[in-house]
Structure formats: C-alpha cells, structure tokens
Structure 1
Amino acid sequence: MNKRIIPLIMIIFSISLWLIFYRQLPEQVPMQWGADGSVNWTASKFVALLVNNGMYILLYLLLMFSPKIDPKKNNYKQFSRSYEIMVYAILGLFLIINVVVLFKSLGYPLEINFFIPFLIGLLLMIFGNYMQTIKPNWFIGIRTPWTLDNETVWRKTHRLGGKIFIILGLILMITPFLSDQYVLPVTLISVIVGSLIPTIYSFYLYRKLK
C-alpha cells in the first residue's frame, strides 16, 4: 500500500466529519482551552473548519516533503519505517484532536484537559520507542549543534532521549488524574527537564570526544 494513502484517508475523514456536522455546529466554536478545561478562544464555525483542517493538511505536507529537501535526505532510507510510523502517529494524534474538538463543539461531554495530555503523552512514548533508530537529519529528532556535527553524539543522545521521551510521555498521561493545581507545574517542569537533559548530554559527549 502506498504510504500516502493512510494519511490522505485520515485527512478526508476529518474534513468529511466537519462537513457532515457543519450545520449542527454553534456559530462560535471553541478553538483553545486552558489547563483547567475552560475556553480561551472561539471562532466562527467556518473559520474553525478552515483552520483545523487547513493546519492538518499543512502538517501532512510538511511531514511528506521536508525529508525531500533535507541536506541529509539520504539518511532517511536507513530509518524509513520508523519515520513512517512517527508520521502516522502525529497525523493520528491530530485526527483524534480534530474529532474531539468537533464533538466537544456539538455539545458532547468530552474532557479536553483529559484527552490532550493523554494523547500527547502517548505520542511521546511512540517517539521514544523509535528514537534510537533515527539517523542524523535536520528535520526530526534531537537536533543540537553537537548531535548534528558528530554521529556518535547523535546516536548516544538519541538512545538516552528515547528513554526520556517514554518517561515524559508517562508523566503527561497521568497529569489528567492530578489535582488542577499540580497539572501545570508538573507539565512545565517535566517538559523543561526533559528538553534540557538531552541537550546538556549531547554537549557533554561532544566535548568528551573532542
């Protein structure tokens, strides 16, 4: 099966759902929610349809065509299966978010502040599982000046980064079950620490090897 068929089916499914339920949508559709689940921003249903599905299409194009213009594009052949799974995971996440936003707007009792952290956590765990298979490139992975300059640093950093992504994913998946006052601090601290450790580690490895 052509690897573009599944993403295109996802996009068509999302657009079709919005068109099917378009008349039933309220004039103002929620577009952004706070950590407590309250609505921060609304837009007309026509704008919501265009923005949600337009961003979905742009994301698909970015994921499909960025590897073709990457200076290290030949490396993608070495992790093509992993990249394909990551693309499906990202597009699947946005499809579910699109569906949740649509049905939330229709009045269904869906908890946005439960679904989003859980889904992002699941995505990070999938990424973490395949992280160490990624070869040096300019588009996906832990791209620091030191990983991009040295393949050994890239490989070891992504081995550690994969474990960190899985741990970070697990933390995000449990945040919906925490008290509201702890959700934001736990999320921010986890994301900051999870980002800093691979960066510092790549610098340490690079200096050590040099």
Structure 2
Amino acid sequence: MKKHLIPILMILISISLWLIFYPQLPDQVPMQWGVDGSVNWSASKFIALFTNNGMYVLLYLIILFSPKIDPKKKNYQQFSRSYEIITYSVMGLFLLINLVTLFKSLGYPLQIHFFIPILVGLLLIIFGNYMQTIKPNWLFGIRTPWTLDNEEVWRKTHRLGARIFIILGFILITTPFISDQYVLPVTLISIFVGALIPIFYSYYLYQKLNKSGR
C-alpha cells in the first residue's frame, strides 16, 4: 500500500488545487501552447479541470493495472524498484505540468515553453538511467516485436536506448535556451531519430541472432 501512497497523494494535490482555485479561473483555460509560448487552443474551465485531472487518474490506473494483465507480468518482480522510481517520476512530471497549467491560467507569469521541455528532458534522463534494469514487458521500455520475442535483443536494445534517452533528455533541456525558430525542428528531429535508432537496431540484432541460431 505504501508504494501507492505517493502517486495517490500527487493526484489528490492536483485535484484539490484545481477545485480550490476553480472560482478564480477564467472562463477559457489554455490547454496547449506553441514553442513560443503562445496559446494554440483553449477550453472551458470545467473541461480543463476534468480533462487534466481525468487524464492524470487514467495514467495512474494504466500504470497500476498493467502489471496485473501483462503477459510478462512475472518479470515486474525483477525490476520492481526501477518500476517504482519511473512511476513516481512520470506521476511527478504530470503533477508539475498540471500545476504549471493551473497557475499559468490564473495569471502567474510562468513560461510554459521554458518549463515543459526541461521537465520532460529530466524525465527522459531518469528513464535512461534505469532503462537497462527493465525486463521485458508490455508497458515500459522499447517494445518492438523483436525485443519482446528475444530477451537478448531486449537487453542490448535497452543498453543502447538508455544512452539515447539520456542524450535526448539533455537536448530537450537545452531547447528553451535556443532561438524559437530552431526549437521545433531540433525537437522533432531529435525525437524522430532517437525513436528510429532503437527500432532498427532491435530488428538488426534479431535477424543477426536468428542467423546464428540463438
């Protein structure tokens, strides 16, 4: 029960603060911002409260119940500590995003385009540091047909993926400090390349091991 206390407390903090400040929120609450900090679209404050916190609760339910229905659920026992740290990190990130959204809507001079890339970058660095300890599963990690079918492919792909995630994390952390015109291209290219490399690498390893009869 203790391992569930912190995520549940985070959710309660988010919902409580949204309810406390709900009367002070404007009729339209920003829901998405561009790389320059401009608002792309807004929603009514009720929809904003329900959507932001509803997605938060749904995220935790997915994290909570996935190990119980995962075909590889026995593997979770082998990386329970890493799973717990990653869970806290993901839930912490979404709590901070919720709070930044809330207080930005209340008129506080928070720079969304500055905070969010740094927070996501830190999450990727944390995830990268624990990636090599994750055993095959259907929720966390680089889940391709080849990694899920072969534990050696999973292990070696995640060894490479750990380095890539850490590099991507540092790149995202630096984006708030570069010119706005370069933020989107740098972010998209980095994520695209960073996602493709482990996929192709896992396929290459799988084919190589199959040819060698392993």
Aligned to 2:173: 173
CA distance in 2, matches of 1:34, 1:46: 22
Give a deviation string over 1:127-169, Cα, whole Å, max 9, x none: 0000000001111100111111110010000011001000000
In the TM superposition, structure 1's runs of 4+ consecutive aligned residues that sit over 4 Å from their partners are none
Identity %: 76
Q: What is the match of residue 144 of structure 1?
A: 144
Tell me the matched-pair count: 210
Counterpart of 1:80 in structure 2 is 80
Partner of 2:28 in structure 1?
A: 28
Which deviations, in whole Å up to 9, do the C-alpha atoms of 1:6-38 show, x marking residues without a partner?
001000000111111111111111011111111
- Equivalent in the alignment of 1:134: 134
Question: Partner letter of residue 13 of structure 1?
Answer: I
The 5 A counterparts of 1:29-108 are 29-108=29-108
How far does residue 94 in structure 1 lie from its aligned partner after superposition? 0.3
- TM-score when scaled to structure 2? 0.97
CA root-mean-square deviation? 0.8
Unpaired runs of 5+ in structure 2? Answer: none
Give the SS at the match of 2:2: coil
Secondary structure of residue in 2 paired with 1:3: helix
Long gaps (5+) in structure 1 = none
2:160 is aligned to 160
2:192 is matched with 192
User: Structure 1 length as normaliser, TM-score?
Assistant: 0.98
